[in-house]
Each structure stands twice: as structure tokens, then as C-alpha cells.
Structure 1
Amino acid sequence: MVGASREMTVVRIPLKSAKHHFGVSLSRGTRPYNEDTFQAGTIEIPAFAKRQPMSVTRNRSGSITSEVTPAGTASGDPQVFYFGVFDGHGGSECADFLREELHSYIEAATRLFELESSLKRKGPMERYVGWPSSMGNQDDRPAEGHTAGRESLDAIKTHTPPGTEPVKPPKPGTDEKPPPGGVDSTAEPLGSAPPVQQSQSLRKAEELERCLVRDWRELVGGYFKRFKPEYFSMSAGGRGHPAEKEVVSKRANPGSSIPDNTSEGIGIETALEYAFLKADYDFISAQVGKQDEDPVRADRAINDDDILGHPSRSGKNIGGSRRFKGGSTCSIALISTPTPSPFWHPASPSTIVTAHVGDTRILLCDTATGQAVPLTSNHHPSLPEEATRLRRYAATFVTDSFGEERVSGLANTRAFGDMASKRIGVSAEPEIRRVELHPAEYSFLVLVSDGVSGHLSDQEIVDIVKEAKTPEQAARDVTSYAVEVASDADNATTLVVRLGGWERRNEGGLGSMGTRELRDWRKNEAEDPRGRRM
């Protein structure tokens, strides 16, 4: 065929204008200013999706072609999409900084750690994309012409409450039945997918991590004298890379053997943790160099710090000209696909990695059950993990007049900024999750600020989205409903991202009817202020 075929045609549409694939809505509620902000677009980092087994098909000419495009071709990796919600408190300076700079920190971290694409072949012995050499002999690999993909029934995961093992569906073509009670101890819970190694530069990564941990200890001290970042190496004071922990545990046991093909490495999770902590460090250090109220400094020229015409590198302008003592929460989602097909295609698998700090939330809608699947937890003192972490330095938690526990006057135990509370453990260590999405397994992705999640349950948010025709309309409906039913409406932000199961979003479970009666009742109460006072 002369020229590009229809399958290779690339059409570029601005993401923020594609209302059928992405929608966003913001409202300041009853507050005088809107301190929420968001970001959406593509990010220049290597693909981190898991390589899928090759699906071999036969075209009209009889030759065998592959549906998988390796990363080494001229077309390169598929794009990685980036979505984020930032909820500022005490001002919008920190949230604006994250909106404009956080993605740049992530891109820089992937270059520093020398991350490679997860879609590249690792050696000549791998004849099939997605079939590592450590997974058995060549005789056990798929034969030519075999489609080595998961069947649709096997890809379905039913929703289960946190802490409960999910139900494993029966395999196609068998009479296998779930165990009594529907619980299978071998099933993998959502969000626990193992990291994918993308870099062998472990020693360089350890040096970068050690420098950052040392800088935190010298600048802030307190909690940071012995904090242990989850994805930092053990030699740098962290809990250890996933591959490193496995090797160290085997070396500690003389009877255990380490396979020859075992290699230490790091993935996108380590780069994300480094980017979060580095961005927070730069923001805090910039505020330290400022004055609260200095009339002399206010009269100085804006370029007073410039040297021989070159701009100052001190970073003192980060967060404004005056010292900013507030902060911001942050929830970001990165979506990567192993094939050129976009992540919203019904037949396209994808990988989502979320990094979260604070009480903004990220939700998925399960196509099979219609249930809301949260990917984040609210970092409040009432969360047992956070309470245990903070009690090393915070002697007590104070309960406010609304019955909510606070630490140093803050409702969030993790946040960017908040320089006055850093010593007692309010840090920007992200909660990171990796989720492997099978084709059409989930209908859509929702990112909301606490102005929405503070008044609506996860299921209410998901059900409102189901009733909308487009993600853009869904974002407006969620935000307007949250502001309408709230007695004291906070800043509210909603991002809705279409996934492969969008067209089937009302088929699972009760559809949107599960919370319809409750939502109607709450709306009637909000429209009758006299009844509310009664």
C-alpha cells in the first residue's frame, strides 16, 4: 500500500477540548477565592506499561503481522497521559507551583534515574513481546498464530471492600467454580501490582536518594532525621527498592539461592517518590530564604538578586515574593499503554500509576459491578497508618469543634508546603499504587478535591458520572451537585477521564439507581432552606 494506512493515521486533538474523552469543572463554592487547580496533558517520560503477549493475526496477503508496536520502532513509545488535582490551603501559591512544575520534576527524575521504556525487548532470546526470558523455556511459549491474550471473562474483577480478597472469576471453557464464600486467597487485590524494573542504574539512584535525604535532615530535621521513604534504597535510608528487598532477604538466609537472572532495578515508582520529595524540598527551601514582612526588601528591585545580567538561581521567587506558610494536597494519575491504541479504546489494555498526598481522591468505576473503586486514602490523623507514623514526633492530636482530629492545626498529615509542620512529620511522601487495567475493565477515572468528596460518597460521585452523556457534562454535574447540597461549600474540582468501558458504564450492578433515591432526597433538602433549619 502506498502511503499511510488508516490504522497508522494519527489525529491530534487538544486533550482539554476533547469533551468526549476528558472533562473538568471547578467551582469556588461559597469561598471568596478558588485555591483548587488541575493539570491534564501528556508527559515526556518512558512508557511504564506491562508488555502484553503478542497477538498474531494474518492479513489479506497472508503474511503474519503483530498488533504490538515495540518501543524501538520509528514511531517510538505510546504517549503517557498525566492528570492531576491540587487543593491549596492558606493560599493558592503552592497549588499553582505544583500545577506548573510538578510534571517537570517527574520528567527530570526519570532522566536522572535513567529509566528505560518498559516496552523494549531485554534480549534476543525474547521472541514474544511480553514474555520475559525468566518465565520458562522457549518450548513453553506460545506457538505461532496463537493469540496469547486474556479472555474477557478472565479480565473481570468484582468490587470488594478494602481488606477483603477479591473474587476470582472462573476460567473460560471450564467448570471451575469459586470457593465457598467467593473468596480466593490466590487472587491479587487491586492496587498491589508489582513494580516493573525500568533501570539498572541502582548505584546512581542510591546516591541521588542519599543526597536528598541528607538535604531534608539538614534543612528541617525532626521527623526527617529518621524518615524512611518507601521506594528509596535501604542504603539511602529508605525501605528498599522492591527488587533490592528480595535480594537482601535472600542474602540474609544462607540456605536460599539467588537465581542468575535476578537483577536489582528501579521503576517509575522510585522516580515519582523522588520527584515529590524534591519538589517539596525546593518549595520549602525557597520559603526559608524569604521574610514574612520586610519593608526594606519590598522596596528593592525585582532583579536585585541577578548577577551580571544573569537571573538568580536561588529560587526565592517560588511561591511568591513573600514567605508562604500554607500548602497543597496533590493527586496525580499517569496512564500508559503497551500498544499504539489509546487507553480509552475498548480493546486496549493500560497501566495506571497514581501518586497521592492529602485528601484529594482518585476513583475508578468497575464496568462489571458498577461499584466505585478508590485508589487513594485520606491522609488524616484518623487513618491508623498515619497516626502510627506521626506519633513518633507529634505528642497529641487535637480534636476541633467538628469532631475531626488535627495535627498542628492541619487536617492533612501529608501535604506539600506547610513549612511550620514539617518537623513533626507532615511530609510529601506519596502513596503510590500501580493498577493493571484489562480491556474495558473500568468505565472511567474520576479525580476530585475534598470540596466534592467531603460531601459526597464515592458511590454517589460514580453514579452521577454514569448518568452524563460525556465526561465534560459529568464533571459539571458532579461539581454543581456537590456545591448545591453542601451547607458550607468549599472549593470543588472534578476531573473525569473516559476509559475503555465508558459505553457500558450503566450495565454493571444497579447502574446509577443505587444512590438515586438518596441523591434526590438530598437535593430536595438543599432546595428547601426552611426545612433545613427545622
Structure 2
Amino acid sequence: MIPPSSKRVAVRVWTLANSYRFINPPIRYYSVGSAFEESRPLKRRQFHDYFVTHLPSSSLHPDPRGPITPFHKLPRSASVPHTGETSHSPASFQPAAQRETTVVRIPLRSAKHHFGASSARGTRPANEDTYQAGVIDIPAFAKRPPASLTIRRPGAKGSPPPPEGRGAETARGDPQVFYFGIFDGHGGAECSTFLKERLHEYIQNATAEFELESSLKKRDPNEHSHDLLPIIQGGNRERIGDLEKDLVHGWRSLVGGYFKRFMPAHFSYYGNGPKETDQSIRDTKEENSGITIEEVMEYAFLRADLDFVTAQAAKSEDDIIKADLPLNQDDVLYGPSHLGSLKIGGKKRFKGGSTGSTAMISTPTPTPFWHPAAPSSLLVSHVGDTRIILCSTATGEAIPLTSNHHPSSPIESNRLRRYAATFVTDSFGEERMSGLANTRAFGDIHSKRMGVSAEPEVRRIEMGAAEYSFLVLTTAE
């Protein structure tokens, strides 16, 4: 039982940013690595806790060619913030075109006008909740903008110089995709820490394995389906089917129970169940012959959960001799061991788990999502009772994007009633299943057979320019 005044983590992301400009931001050059090695022979994808953007050169260092009494020393009432246009500055101060802006890396967690976090552990000795924020290396999934709103590339004939807030593109030419995650651990911090350090890698690896293509790339000159939802992106459909089949088989063979008739909502592969022979399903596959970002997220969540559960099941905590062996006993030349003995967590089997929610934001142009004139696509993937809330700019209304996966939910109770022995009500009036308040979670290996899975509830929101002020991710009390 978690008392109301116990642990909590909250993350706040500014989406609109009337405070869009900031003065002398801290500039560092570094990246964050993972504490775990890959279990499959995939190239490590890039994840950075900083974003790359353009700033005026004058904000980084003074221009030696400028006037002796520069205009930036005017009184505060007469100063004007950087907007990318330099019509207010003296003509002699105009730098060369190639020096008007400089590409810099700004730590996201230090950019207080765009991101903030708060954590409280209450009366507990340590907080089991974690969070993650950064830029994820995946293809764009945003809707393509109308031609009238498409920003011309710098250097094109007649195009203006890049404005101050224009973000840099990734190596593949897509705008940066921002990733935010919050994870509510229970029974310990092993699972929530694993999700913090590894879940974004599972998402990146899934896009690489599926050969996902950018949504901004037009696949057919006559295609107009990019205006509809869900957005179909290019991918290797044959390989996707094999990967999904292998994942479903892994759940059935390792856990069984609920997963014997397991049919993920967004998968194109349904095993030997009735949906495999559904004519409408086959027609949809042949017509689209692509993939949605929702399918990628469901695969990544389930793959991460399967690896975590497999690692815990492989631990022989009752064997005193094996429990005292080094964690890398099976590794050769510092290489990762096979999946069956993947070392996640401590020496002993971790019986707890974690809920989690992620929010990814993709823009159709390099202009970052917090720019007042930038539309963007928000993808929320949710498991358990962590919460994500949007705040409307016009009305200030708090709009919940997630719902709690509890036994009291009609959808969840109908899904699990055939497997769970009983539902009990605790002293606070909340229903529980085998002592658990959440019907969906990562980990919790002793409740997997009853259907406590990491199937995410995925929701996509198309955010108009300046439509929302900020996004809040928070763990439950």
C-alpha cells in the first residue's frame, strides 16, 4: 500500500514557450551512454540528453568587427530580443551570412524555459521513480505540412536566413524527435531504472529492425493518405511479420496463461488465431504494405518487457553458489551473453515492476515544437497509472491523455476476469488483483500469467501552432 504522501516524480515540458528566447544558455558537448550492453547484434543508436539548435553568433561571443558601443548595451526598456531578423541593428554590425547563426548543443535538462522536473520521496528511504528526457534517433512520424507552410531550406534562392530557434536536422535529414519518459517503480527501482536507461534504445532498435521510413518522405507521387490517420510509413513488411511472430511465440512459450491467446492490438501478425483469417485484415495489409509508429511502440514495449522478465526468470536466486557468482560470469571478452542469461538488475530475482508513460514529439520542419509557429505530432504510449496531461493555451484547461489501468476500469476487468482468481477491494476502496493496483506494468513476473502485461495504450495528438502551453508527465501518489 502506498500512502498518499509518498514518492512522486513530475516532469513538465513547455510546448508553446512565450519564454521561447533565453539569454546565454549553458553550452556543453557530451552525450549519454547506456549502462547495459546490447543483447542483439544491432548497431547502437544515438540518444542525447541535449538538443541541437541555431543561435546568433553574437549571443555566444562578441563580434570583433562590431561598433565600439554595441547596441546590446542599451537600457533594458530599449532592448529587443533575438528573432532572427537583424533590421534593428546597425548596418556596420551585420555579420557575414555564414556567421549569422551557430549550431550549438544545449542540455535539455538545463534549458529551464523548455523543461523542468520535480521529485519527492516522501517518507521512503529512496525514490523508486525515474524519468528520462532527450532526443531520440528515429525517423520522423509527423504529418507532412501543406506546401504553403513548408519552410524553405537555408541557402535556397530567395529564402531568408535561419531564425534563432530553428533546430538542426539529424543525419538522415529529418527534424529531431524529442523523447520524454516517466516510470513509477514498485517493489524496488530495478525495473524503473532499466526502463529509464534502456526503453528508448528498444524504440530506436525497433525502427531499425522494421526499416521504418520517415513520414515526411513521399512514397508515391499520387499518394494523399498522409492527411489521414493513422499515418502509414514505409517498412520491411516481411521482416516485421517475422519479428512479431517471434515475439508472440516468446511470450507464449515463456509465460503462457494469458499470452496463449495473446493478440497485440497494433500487430499485423496474429498467430493462428481467428484474426489471421479475417479478410479485412488481409486486405488492409496488402493495401497499406507499410507500418505505423503505433505498431513500432507496441513492439518495443513488449520486447523490453519480455527481455526484463526473461532475465529475472533466468536468475537462480535459490542457488547460493550461483547467486554469489559474478554477474558477467557467462560473458566472453566483455561481450554480452545470450538472451537467456541477460543480466538486468541485481544478483537476486526482482519480483517487482514499474509502470511507465512516454511522450514523443515530431515536427514536420526543423523548427522545434516549442516555437509559437510550429505544428507538431505528439505520440503518447502509456502502461499503468502514470499520467500525461496537456494544458490548453486558450482556456488553460488540463486535458488528460492517459487513463489508469486498474481493475476498476471496465476494459481492464473484462480483459482479465477470465484469468484472475479474484478482485479484492482494499481499505481505500480501490480494487486490486493479487495485491496489485495496476493491471498493466513492466515486470511483476508472478502476475504475468494472469495478464499483467506491458501492452501500451497508444494515442496520437496533432498539436497546432501554439495550441498547448505545456505538457506534464507525473507518477501517481
Change (3 A) 1:438 1:444: same
Q: Tell me how large the CA RMSD over aligned residues is.
A: 3.3
Which of 395, 398, 414 does residue 440 from structure 2 map onto? 414
1:71-470 correspondence to structure 2 within 5 Å: 76-123=173-220, 125=221, 132-133=223-224, 194-236=229-271, 248=282, 262-307=287-332, 310-313=335-338, 314-451=340-477
Q: Which amino acid aligns with 2:234?
A: S
Aligned to 2:18: none
Q: CA deviation at 1:343?
A: 0.3
Report the number of matched residues.
375
CA distance in 2, matches of 1:58, 1:407: 55
Aligned to 1:53: 146
CA distance in 1, matches of 2:469, 2:169: 31
Change (3 A) 1:348 1:5: farther
Which of 17, 21, 44 does residue 110 from structure 2 map onto? 17
CA distance in 1, matches of 2:254, 2:160: 53
CA distance in 2, matches of 1:58, 1:216: 48
Question: Secondary structure of 1:387's partner?
Answer: helix
Identical-pair percentage: 59
Change (3 A) 1:369 1:73: closer
Asked whether the equivalents of residues 275 and 281 of structure 2 are also in contact (C-alpha less than 8 Å), the reply is no
CA distance in 1, matches of 2:404, 2:144: 32
1:273-305, Cα deviation, whole Å (9 max, x unpaired): 001000000000111111234322233344432
Asked whether the equivalents of residues 50 and 118 of structure 1 are also in contact (C-alpha less than 8 Å), the reply is yes
Give the number of the structure whose residues are more often strand, by fraction.
2
CA distance in 2, matches of 1:109, 1:51: 22
Calculate the TM-score normalised by the size of structure 1.
0.64
1:6-48, Cα deviation, whole Å (9 max, x unpaired): 4x64332100110111001111011222101100001100011
Q: CA deviation at 1:63?
A: 5.5
Question: Secondary structure of 2:253's partner?
Answer: helix
CA distance in 2, matches of 1:214, 1:426: 17
Aligned to 1:524: none
Q: CA deviation at 1:196?
A: 1.2
Instruction: Extract unaligned runs of 5+ from structure 1.
Output: 127-131, 137-192, 252-257, 452-534
Change (3 A) 1:52 1:295: same
CA distance in 1, matches of 2:376, 2:357: 19
Asked whether the equivalents of residues 407 and 431 of structure 2 are also in contact (C-alpha less than 8 Å), the reply is yes
Asked whether the equivalents of residues 232 and 238 of structure 1 are also in contact (C-alpha less than 8 Å), the reply is no
Q: Which amino acid aligns with 2:407?
A: P
Q: Which amino acid aligns with 1:437?
A: M
Change (3 A) 1:369 1:303: closer
CA distance in 1, matches of 2:370, 2:213: 24
Instruction: Extract unaligned runs of 5+ from structure 2.
Output: 1-94
Aligned to 2:70: none
CA distance in 2, matches of 1:22, 1:309: 37
Change (3 A) 1:107 1:237: farther
CA distance in 1, matches of 2:229, 2:381: 15
Question: Secondary structure of 2:106's partner?
Answer: coil
Asked whether the equivalents of residues 384 and 440 of structure 2 are also in contact (C-alpha less than 8 Å), the reply is yes
Q: Which amino acid aligns with 1:45?
A: I
Asked whether the equivalents of residues 212 and 278 of structure 1 are also in contact (C-alpha less than 8 Å), the reply is yes
Aligned to 2:98: 4
Aligned to 1:149: none
CA distance in 2, matches of 1:220, 1:58: 53
Change (3 A) 1:312 1:4: same
Question: Secondary structure of 2:214's partner?
Answer: coil
Asked whether the equivalents of residues 317 and 347 of structure 2 are also in contact (C-alpha less than 8 Å), the reply is no
